[in-house]
Structure 1
Amino acid sequence: MTNLLVEAQRFSKYGIIGLINNAALYALFVVVVYLGISPVAAAGTCYVLGVIISYLLNRRWAFGSSNSHSHDFPRFILAYGVGLVSTLATISVLLIWLPPQVAQILNVGITACVIYGMLRLVSFGIEKDHAN
């Protein structure tokens, strides 16, 4: 299989995980807010759950890692930290021209690509022997 095809499959799996994870967490957010939990607390909880679920699923399914968590987890958190900075900067710029609902849709897509690029840059899921 060519490298481009392998990368396309990995990116597709990453996208599927992201779509399902975000849809499920949005549903959870709506339910817990309906039950009376503060939207801010619900959003924070959903964010943390989302990162944990994304790490576990992407590590195994999208990236096929057999590395230790001590090897992969810091790389994942670094990529998501850069993603957080990217999402804040991107939404700030997009809001100059677009309504928030449209800006956020574009923001999610852009940020997902930034995070994926960072995961590849920091060798997330690549076995230690092949990372250098």
Structure 2
Amino acid sequence: MSQTDHRMDRSVLIFSLWGVLGFLGLGLFLEGMQRDLWSVSAGGVALIVLAFVAHIIVNGVYDTGFSQGEAALGIGAYGLLGLVFVFSAIGGTMTMADYYAGLTLFGVLAAGFLAYLFTRHGLRGAFSRFHIKPMDKREERL
């Protein structure tokens, strides 16, 4: 199999995983918020986490990491959902079950993201992914 075939297989597999587990988890999460049942929302969060773990496993099988597009989509979706959650909280229309469901979602996703960074890159490597190293004197002369 060529490299293009492996990339295509990985893309289809990732799309299928998120299409099934991600949307089912999102549906369960929203159903729990609609019915004010934290346990149903937590089940949705568990399915979303399962999709994330499955994505990491597929990346391991194909010996790759997250693509730039996947990372941008994940961070953008997290930010957009966070913004919606904050505006809903400010609006005062959320019940306590909704607050707990939202906090569960964002807390678990943030913890999972940090766990992924620490296990993939180590503590020093994870920090190095987010800061810019200043040039030392030797690099300035070049």
TM-score normalised per structure 1: 0.40
TM-score normalised per structure 2: 0.38
Bigger-Rg structure (1/2): 2
